[in-house]
Structure 1
Amino acid sequence: MIISSWRRKRAAVLSEKEQQRNENGEMELMIPRDFRYPISQDLMKDPVTLSTGITFDRQNIENCTEAGNFTRPLTNQALRSLEPIPNHMIRKKIQDRCVENRSYGIERSPMSRGPVSSMEVLEILSKINVACKKRDREGCRFLVVGVKSLANESERDKRCFVTNGAGSVLSEAFNVFSMASFDENAVVLEEILSALTIMFPLDGEAKGFLGSVSAMHCLIWFLSTGDLSRRRNAVLALRELVLSSDQRIVDELSEMEGATEALFKLIKDPICPTATKASSTVIYQIITSSSTTEKQAAKLVNLGLVSLLLETLVEAERGMCERALGILDGICNSKEGREMAYKHALSMPVLVKKILRVSNLATEFSISILWKLCKNEQREDGGVLLEALQLGAFQKLLLLLQVDCPDKTKENVSELLKLLNRHRNKMECVDPMDNWKDLKRSF
């Protein structure tokens, strides 16, 4: 009753508007009732018929079913079948009417293309496989461009490609063309990589192809020499790989020449927030999961990552703050990393400030870094311990013992309190905000 009343009111409003416009001498074309979506009264773009025999617009019906509504709009009748059937007769009538009224500015064909079918997707993917076997660069590129166009058409079409294995086919194609000269195959490789980013997240088989030595070397090449779009897609692909459970990928990536430098550059000279976050994620996985942590930490320290991270942490948003602290925590496992942190004026102020200020994860990382720095302090006068006391770390650590946090964090907090307590008689705690005023930063 409510919907019917609303439709009558809407029809009345439309009639009034039409009458007013006609009185003002303006021409308004009425949309035939059969051409409208029954609920919104808008011109249908992709008319389909359900099991009830009523025609609706495809996108609206798919929105309803995806939301869990499996009844017919307006009447609430249960749908016997959820498979919509294209109504070609209504589609043709709408198109013919648009052609007849094109002199009034009506577009010739407002109809959307019907959704891609599984059969069409499988046929395209099969052609890509054939083109790869023949090493047909241009043919493969043309097909991949078509995949991108179709997958970007709608979320439904994208899902159709994903469920039919497009990620694996494209990853295999990338692997095949990466085995030859990067320069010769750069155009097709770039196109495949661009299409692959649409298919994320990838399954295990796809990651296996993309995680081959030749494919990862190509990704690093893109990361080092490509334009902004190519570099962004390359680091997104690397993030997808390192987040898998394959330790081999992380270890091999960490040993590849130029990988660490290219990832660092994306943080130092950001091209977009997405690429910066992806690069920090990859570095975090390398520094915490690689069997060559000491070597990687030394390389990152020499590049200047410790200073960059500390300066980033001053005003970083939550996600970036957690990643930066995680990387710094990994770097401080090494002697070189700790030495650089000791020397930087922002180390203690930033770490103490982040405790209980950002998130539980940021607090855990901050405590871990503080524990590593204070435990390994070599100065007899307790330099970093005294600075932490001055910044109010003791009070924050006492508070942490009262809240819920992982056992490892509580162990570190207890040990830190013991270390700090030895120096409490040497210095009175002051307002931690006072210590930010005179800090000299490199930015």
Structure 2
Amino acid sequence: MEAIFRYVLDQFNIIYQLQAPVEIYYGLNNTSRIQIKAAQTAFFQNTSPFPDAPPVYYTWKNQKIPFWFESLPTEEIITLINGKAIIQVDIIANAFYFLSGWQEYYSAERDQYGRFPYRASLQHQYNFITLPVVNYYFDILKTAIEQVYGITLKSVLADNADFTTCLTHDVDNCQTAWLVEGMQALRKGKFLNFLNLLSLKVAGKDNWFNVPAVMQTVQQYGAQSTFFFLANNRKHQGIANADYDVTQALYQKWLTLLQRHNFEIGVHGSHITALEPGKLAPEKLKIKARVRGNRFHYLRFEPLLTPTLMDEAQLAYDSTLGFSEHFGFRHGTCFPFRLFNFKTQQSYSFLEIPLHLMDATLHHPKYLQLTTDEILPAIKPMLQEIKKFGGCFTWLWHNENFSQNNGHNGPAAFKSIMAYLQEQQANFKTTGRVYDLLQPHRPD
């Protein structure tokens, strides 16, 4: 369990960046200033994806939090004795379970795109997808350190604001609004709308050919965002990748424009890149700009393979890990972290900036069916959890969903979320900027 202990502490230090050593012991030894009670469990010596027993619940920060691997109840979470703090619940085992992605690494459940499905997760089973349980586990440790050492710890992501937000855009389609939106218009009997879309296309400017306009919209809020470009326009097993060729001059002009205005550019790894070696790096090179980060198309991510492919491509960060079916915390956290390599028992080198919300999740035949007016009230509790811990709200709004023809998860919904984030005093940062902030404590 030593490797697990060190891994979890590394993730804690990425965010809180302790300036002096603290004495933390995993177990009870009667001498260390902070002791964390270790659960008597053999769970991590086996390969079962899910704990057999249901969780027990303890209240922390006025919120009931699930804990696994606990056999005996405790009356208090932190016991202070003679200048020492004893944490009476195994926050290490619980944090490791979610941060490492244990459940999806050892589960055989996959959907039609090879993704671990939300319905198979512990979050779905016990209904806590919008509760960042790892942040609560970390907050217990943070509180113990503060009480024993008389210091105040603060998330690096709440340096000059209550919390951080990373707005991102996956650029899948730039040339097919005339077809997709056009067919929708025809089905609704909106013939004039169809003709307008067609005339735009004939004039050489599809309605989704809009990256500069998206950039300008974001600038109106005094913000910058991150654009992930697909560099593969060939279908994979009949499934579309990009409908454009990013190597063409007109798209290269976009890259120059975005960089000039301090927006971030990343690669949007195509379908095959999450599954086969040697595919992601060549796509990165097709994008003639500084590229440090990735998000995989369709949020495809195979935990047995993909982390190794990320390191192989020498990318600094990824921002794929969220559930397509529901907004929330796939790895139980609103903090960036490094995934655990089950073979080497160490962290992977790339930083994961987890995705908490995707526009398609909010209104999709296979996902949620929220109206525009229902979207903000639905996600507010999640945003308040992120704010509580000084976390990073990472969200995705595709360029095509800035179209005025989208009356569901379109411009109106986007504007309501942006206005709320400003009201809550979020600090907008690109994913690259978040990566830079967290670099001083990169684990060995």
Q: TM class by shorter-chain length? A: under 0.3
Larger radius of gyration: 1
Taking structure 1 as the reference length, what is the TM-score of the superposition?
0.22
Query: Structure 2-normalised TM-score?
Result: 0.22
